[in-house]
Chain A
Amino acid sequence: MSPIWLLLILPYIGLLWVPFYNHADPEFLGFPFFYWYQLAWVPITSLLLFFVYRSLQRGGRISHED
């Protein structure tokens, strides 16, 4: 079990700890914080997955064939 997997826990912490982001400020492009913060987690989660994917590939733990 590679420690790199722990990165995938971050979206759960970031999104399930609701009091952290249930605010109107700071606003961004007219969006209250509550909205743009959650939307921002979409690309962040994709990037985290990509990061984990690449490091598993380099470590030879996954291949294109499986």
Chain B
Amino acid sequence: MKTEIDYAALGVFLFFFVLVTLLGFVAAYWRRPKTLAHIDEWGLGGRQFGTWITWFLVGGDFYTAYTVIAVPALVYATGAFGFFALPYTIIVYPFVFAVMPILWKVAKDNNYVTAADVVHGRYGSRGLELAVAATGVIATMPYIALQLVGMAAVIQALGLTGELPLIIAFLVLAFYTYSSGLRAPALIAFVKDVMIYIVVLVAIAIVPFKLGGYGAVFQAAQAAFEAKGSGGILLAPAQMVPYASLALVSALAAFMYPHTLTGIFASRSGDTIRKNAMLLPAYTLLLGLLALLGYMGHAAGLKLSHNNDVVPALFQTLFPGWFAGFSFAAIAIGALVPAAVMSIGAANLFTRNFWKAYVNPQVTPAGEAQVAKITSMLVKVGALLVIIYLPTQFALDLQLLGGLWILQTFPALIFGLFTRFFKAKALLIGWAVGFVVGTYLAWSDGLKPLHKLVYGDWNVTLYVGLIALTLNILVAAILSLFLPADRPLEKDLQAPAT
């Protein structure tokens, strides 16, 4: 890694950063609402985003900046195993297509803003609502922190030292999110996604050309793994089941997060969501090609102190300064979009399912918007403090646990859309069992995502989240047999026919 300042790179970077900052503030006037002082407007952009805006927004906040840094880093370090992100981001879409339009409709018909709103309406249970809301908030916090890690990686590569650049970038983000709400990341996502597409397409065309073609890239990577004695460009037999379980469970968890659900709830119609399920895989193709940058790092013979440096170092080595600056700007702006949507999603949860539920049930829509705005600020400041004062590994570990935790809300949120069999108390106990057992297993394994189940001389290694979710569903199903029916609150009590 070079660390002296390259002024061409820095100039291009600053130009784009200032551009999106202006966009963020202008966004308040984009598709002008009558007033932004309403949580539907501030927190969901007025539920009127059509197919293209949703495509950019969800693409921008599901495929995060951290992804751009971390997936190639994982592939660089472990080889084929890091590719689980590819099957994961393919099989998520049939699920989105089949389930999310139904969830959207329930939210739209009842003016729900969050997943916990949906659960509360469906089961009439404050306890289950609180479990879903709290899980959403704590799973989102480390995720925001990791966006900062992605941003810090490129800011360092530009040769800027210290924490000040990161703090400035984040404060700017906090202010325009405060004033414009979800419209800001939606508008910025256009710029960011186009930039990322340009960067990746140039990289996958030019880099192999400089390194002697894809065949050579794969050979160089295999040679590097053999020299290292671990990893490889194919999975070891023992990695196959973990690979599949990680892909499946990640796909189930992906749209339980507040930021991805915010993108769903902000859509104009169920049809918008269906079309997006067909169109969003374009980003998956991009992600798969991006992952190959990890192998290109080996082919280019990079010597790295951190795996996370593979993408910035590769761009610095192979691109002219101005294009490296453009790439870094794309990644840094790529951190702003998900960080903004995540903080909005967490703020919506706090406002609706804590403030309105327990502090001030009479709060007006304008009051809700105000609480959400302030909360979004606090959430971002919290994430910033975590990154500055705590080791990065802490955020990484928490993010891993966050995936496990958010997955435990799946039964509560999704099952009720299709059946009345599950009862609130049973789901709440199932959630607690999955949460506690999953956390304990991950913790006792030294915060590793994979757990080995041993039964006599038979054993299998699975993603911890899958074990926890299975327990969660089993407990919820068995207890539901013995519990009386719940009393739902909402108008629409019919599980929609499909």
Contacts and interface: CB of A to CB of B under 8 A. Distances in A.
A22 B234 contact: yes
Contacts of B86: 38-39
A42 B288 contact: yes
B498 A45 contact: no
A27 B375 CA distance: 52
Contact of A16 (B83, B97, B247, B274): B247
Which of under 10, 10 to 19, 20 to 34, or 35 or more describes the interface residues of B?
35 or more
Nearest to B286: A42
A46 B248 CA distance: 18
A11 B94 CA distance: 8
A45 B87 contact: no
B274 A24 contact: no
A19 B240 contact: yes
Interface residues of A, number: 39
B234 A49 contact: no
Contacts of B374: none
Contacts of A19: 240
Contact of A62 (B233, B271, B284): B271
A46 B91 contact: no
A58 interface: no
A48 to B, nearest CB: 8
Contacts of B465: none
Kindly name the residue among B101, B215, B289 whose own CB sees the greatest number of chain A CB atoms within 10 A: B215
A43 B241 CA distance: 25
Contact of B269 (A17, A32, A45, A64): A64
Contact of B240 (A1, A22, A43, A62): A22
B281 A45 contact: yes
B77 interface: no
Nearest to A23: B234
Contact of B87 (A8, A38, A48, A62): A38
Query: Secondary structure at chain B's binding surface: helix, strand, loop or mixed?
Result: helix
Interface in B278-323: 278-279, 281, 284-285, 288-289, 292
B165 interface: no
A49 B93 contact: yes
Contacts of A35: 83, 218, 288, 292
Contact of A30 (B218, B269, B274, B289): B218
Contacts of B274: 49, 53, 62
Interface in A31-66: 31-32, 34-35, 38-39, 41-43, 45-46, 48-50, 52-53, 61-66
Contacts of A23: 234
Contact of A66 (B215, B240, B269, B278): B269
B248 A64 contact: no
Contact of B97 (A8, A12, A30): A8
Contacts of B214: 29-31
Given A12-B248, A39-B86, A43-B285, 6 more contacts: A12-B94, A18-B235, A35-B83, A38-B83, A45-B91, A50-B278
Interface of A: 1, 5, 8-9, 11-12, 15-19, 22-24, 27, 29-32, 34-35, 38-39, 41-43, 45-46, 48-50, 52-53, 61-66
26 contacts: A5-B498, A8-B94, A16-B87, A16-B91, A17-B244, A18-B240, A18-B241, A18-B243, A18-B244, A23-B234, A29-B214, A30-B213, A30-B215, A30-B217, A31-B218, A34-B234, A38-B288, A39-B289, A41-B90, A42-B285, A43-B281, A45-B93, A49-B94, A62-B274, A66-B270, A66-B271
Interface of B: 80, 83, 86-87, 90-91, 93-94, 97-98, 101, 105, 213-218, 233-235, 240-241, 243-244, 247-248, 269-271, 274-275, 277-279, 281, 284-285, 288-289, 292, 498
